[in-house]
């Protein structure tokens, strides 16, 4: 019995017509050691979503990084909270824009379809959750999966529990998640080489309808992976096609509690740095700019964190995370997924559920239900 081999711990049970299979998440140290291959991600396409949630295959919503000048007069990150414009998250969008972006990319390079095909197609956010799973405590996830022409598509499964926790957020929690968006508003402009905007009544309030997204292709161990990901901003002009990779110019913006005491340092390294690293590493974004704030949302300073240097900052520390475990776990999970998601039919979906640490990930076939690949994608059309 080989504990390092996920197939050895995948048990198979049958419940009437619905086949149930599971994958056991082992303690994190069982996944550490050698790194699986991770190819340098390549940008396959990019697109903008405007304030009306219309998709444009251009850079109109790409923002440029502009360093904010912090002074004692700089308002807290709660500024403009009363003007916050939020996307209506009750409208499910599935992976529609990612699929459209792939169709668009296919139409632009008819000769070479290599870049628009992969074993796995999903959002970067889902891959981030998979990376964090061996170290995760109270963050269960539910995925919906479908197989079409050999490719596994993964989306997030909306659950009643998630809907409830989202709607039952208290005012404090709402303001704290606003701070991240206000930080983005303070640090970005629509003009290349523009100054950081003044934080006064001329500042546009954050609008989460607006997004700039990239589609990247890479390989993790045994699986080629295409991911859609939102990019916060770029430094410098975006190179045109064939002018080199734009990925190395992108910057991920983050906010975090200013570190005053050791407990905050540990929490930052253990939880925040894992998420920072996984999110940006996955799509090849080399820098995270973090705004450190106090409990009132007042920024004290900014720090540039190099994505590839993050693991070194936590290496060898007690009860920390390790990048090799994130990558080996995800590689093995995707391997297992490919063997259990067998019905190659875009109408058939599977639910993949993970509830708690040390527990099994279970998969159930839903039959021809909750189909999420769009007809226009299957037809090879964008609209």
Q: Which residues bind ligand A3P (CB under 6 A)?
A: 177, 179-181, 183, 232, 254-255
CB nearer to ligand A3P: pick between 290 and 373: 290
Cβ of residue 93: shortest distance to Mg ion, in angstroms? 16
140 binds, among Mg ion, ligand A3P, none (CB under 5 to 8 A by kind): none
Cβ of residue 68: shortest distance to Mg ion, in angstroms? 15
CB nearer to Mg ion: pick between 230 and 347: 230
Helices 124-132, 323-340: inter-axial angle, 10-degree rounding? 110
CB nearer to ligand A3P: pick between 174 and 368: 174
- Our finding on whether 269 is near Mg ion (CB under 5 A) is no
Size of the site for Mg ion (CB under 5 A): 3
Residues 191-250 that bind Mg ion (CB under 5 A): 230, 232
Nearest-CA neighbor of 188 among 206, 174, 208? 206
SS3 353: strand
Cα–Cα distance, 200 to 310 (Å, whole number): 35
Q: Whose CB is nearest to ligand A3P? A: 180
| Beta-strand runs (E) in the chain | 12-15, 18-24, 42-49, 55-56, 64-65, 120-123, 141-148, 151-156, 188-189, 211-220, 223-230, 233-234, 250-257, 287-293, 299-306, 349-354, 360-367
Cα–Cα distance, 74 to 230 (Å, whole number): 27
CB nearer to Mg ion: pick between 212 and 336: 212
Contact 350, 366 (CB under 8 A): yes
Q: Which residues contact 372 (CB under 8 A, 6 or more apart)?
A: 94, 95, 144, 146, 153, 155, 349
Contact 205, 83 (CB under 8 A): yes
367 binds, among Mg ion, ligand A3P, none (CB under 5 to 8 A by kind): none
CB nearer to ligand A3P: pick between 24 and 162: 162
Q: Out of 226, 253, 285, 290, which residue is the one contacting Mg ion (CB under 5 A)?
A: 253
Cβ of residue 123: shortest distance to Mg ion, in angstroms? 12
Q: Whose CB is nearest to Mg ion? A: 253
CB nearer to Mg ion: pick between 145 and 247: 247
Contacts 24+ apart (CB under 8 A), 268-273: 269/313, 269/314, 269/317, 269/320, 270/314, 270/319, 270/320, 270/321, 273/310, 273/313, 273/314, 273/321
331 binds, among Mg ion, ligand A3P, none (CB under 5 to 8 A by kind): none
Cβ of residue 178: shortest distance to ligand A3P, in angstroms? 7
Cβ of residue 7: shortest distance to ligand A3P, in angstroms? 32
CB nearer to ligand A3P: pick between 181 and 372: 181
31 binds, among ligand A3P, Mg ion, none (CB under 5 to 8 A by kind): none
């Amino acid at each position: 019995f080989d504990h390092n081999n996920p197939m050895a711990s995948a048990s198979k049970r049958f419940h009437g017509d619905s086949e149930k299979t599971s994958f056991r998440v082992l303690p994190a140290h069982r996944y550490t050691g050698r790194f699986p291959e991770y190819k340098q991600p390549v940008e396959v396409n990019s697109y903008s979503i405007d304030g009306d949630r219309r998709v444009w295959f251009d850079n109109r919503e790409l923002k440029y990084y502009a360093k904010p000048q912090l002074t004692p007069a700089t308002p807290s990150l709660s500024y403009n909270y009363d003007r916050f414009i939020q996307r209506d998250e009750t409208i499910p969008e599935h992976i529609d824009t990612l699929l459209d972006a792939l169709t668009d990319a296919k139409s632009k390079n008819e000769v070479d379809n290599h870049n628009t095909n992969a074993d796995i197609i999903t959002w970067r956010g889902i891959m981030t959750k998979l990376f964090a799973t061996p170290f995760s405590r109270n963050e269960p996830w539910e995925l919906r999966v479908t197989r079409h022409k050999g490719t596994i598509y993964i989306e997030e499964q909306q659950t009643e529990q998630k809907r409830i926790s989202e709607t039952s957020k208290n005012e404090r929690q709402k303001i704290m998640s606003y701070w991240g968006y206000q930080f983005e508003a303070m640090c970005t402009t629509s003009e290349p080489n523009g100054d950081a905007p003044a934080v006064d009544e001329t500042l546009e309030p954050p609008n989460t309808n607006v997004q700039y997204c990239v589609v990247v292709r890479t390989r993790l161990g045994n699986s080629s992976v295409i991911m859609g990901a939102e990019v916060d901003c770029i430094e410098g002009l975006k190179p045109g096609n064939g002018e080199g990779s734009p990925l190395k110019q992108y910057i991920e913006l983050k906010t975090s509690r200013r570190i005053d005491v050791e407990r905050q340092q540990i929490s930052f390294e253990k939880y925040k740095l894992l998420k920072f690293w996984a999110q940006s590493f996955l799509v090849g974004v080399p820098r995270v700019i973090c705004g450190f704030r106090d409990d009132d949302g007042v920024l004290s300073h900014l720090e540039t964190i190099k994505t590839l240097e993050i693991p070194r900052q936590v290496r060898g520390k007690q009860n920390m995370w390790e990048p090799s475990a994130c990558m080996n776990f995800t590689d093995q999970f995707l391997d297992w997924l490919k063997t259990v998601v067998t019905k190659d039919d875009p109408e058939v979906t599977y639910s993949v559920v993970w509830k708690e640490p040390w527990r099994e990930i279970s998969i159930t076939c839903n039959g021809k239900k909750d189909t999420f690949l769009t007809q226009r994608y299957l037809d090879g059309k964008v609209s």
